[in-house]
Structure 1
Amino acid sequence: MKRCWISSFQEAAATVLKLVLLRAEPKTIIQMGSFVYHTLFIDGITYLCASDNALDTVTPSAFLKNVSETFLRNPLMSQEHFSPSNAVATDFQQVLGKYMMKYNKNQEDSLISALKSQVTDVKNVMTQNIDKILEREERLNIFTDRTDDLQTTVSVTQLS
Structure 2
Amino acid sequence: MAAILYALISSINSPTPLVEYSSASGNFQQLALKILSKKITTPTISYSYEDKYIFHCLNIDGFTFLCLAESAFTYRTAYAFLYDIKDIFMEKYGERAKNAIAFSLNKDFSDIIKKRMIFFNTDKNADKLRAARDNIEKTKDIMIENIDKVIAREEKIEMLVNKTQYMSESSFEFRREAVRVKRHFWWKNTKFTLLIFASFMIVLFFILVIACGGFNFKNC
Structure 2 length as normaliser, TM-score?
A: 0.40
Q: Which residue of 2 aligns with 1:93?
A: 110
Distance 1:8 1:43, change over 3 A: same
Work out which of the residue numbers 53, 61, 79 in structure 2 matches 1:61.
Answer: 79
How much identity, in percent, do the aligned residues show? 23
Question: Does the 8 Å CA contact 2:58/2:66 hold for their aligned counterparts?
Answer: yes
Deviant stretches of 4+, over 3 Å: 76-81, 84-87, 107-110
Q: Which runs of 5+ in 1 are unaligned?
A: 111-160
Across the two proteins, how many residue pairs are aligned to each other?
103
CA shift in 2, pair 1:9/1:107, >3 Å: farther
- Indicate the structure (1 or 2) with the bigger Cα radius of gyration: 1
Structure 2 CA distance for aligned equivalents of residues 91 and 25 of structure 1: 28
Alignment of 1:138-149 (within 5 A): none
CA RMSD of aligned residues (A): 3.0
TM-score, structure 1 normalization:
0.53
Higher strand share: 2
Any conservation in 2 of the 1:37–1:48 contact (CA below 8 Å)? yes
Alignment of 1:46-125 (within 5 A): 46-54=64-72, 56-74=74-92, 76-79=93-96, 82-84=99-101, 88-106=105-123
Return the alpha-carbon distance in structure 2 between the equivalents of residues 18 and 84 of structure 1: 16
Contact 1:37–1:49 (CA<8 Å) still a contact in 2? yes
**Contact 1:38–1:60 under 8 Å retained in 2:** yes
Q: Does 1:32 align with 2:49?
A: yes
Instruction: Name which structure has the greater RCO, CA cutoff 8 Å, separation 6+.
Output: 2
Superposition deviation, residue 77 in structure 1: 3.5
Label 1:14 to 1:59 Cα distance change in 2 as closer, same or farther (>3 A): same
The runs of 5 or more residues in structure 2 that have no matched partner are: 1-23, 128-220
Provide the residue aligned with 1:13 in structure 2: 32
> Is the contact made by 1:28 and 1:39 (CA closer than 8 Å) also made in structure 2?
yes
Letter in 2 for 1:69: D
For the Cα contact (< 8 Å) 2:59–2:65, is it kept in 1?
A: yes
**Larger helix share, 1 or 2:** 1
Equivalent in the alignment of 1:42: 60
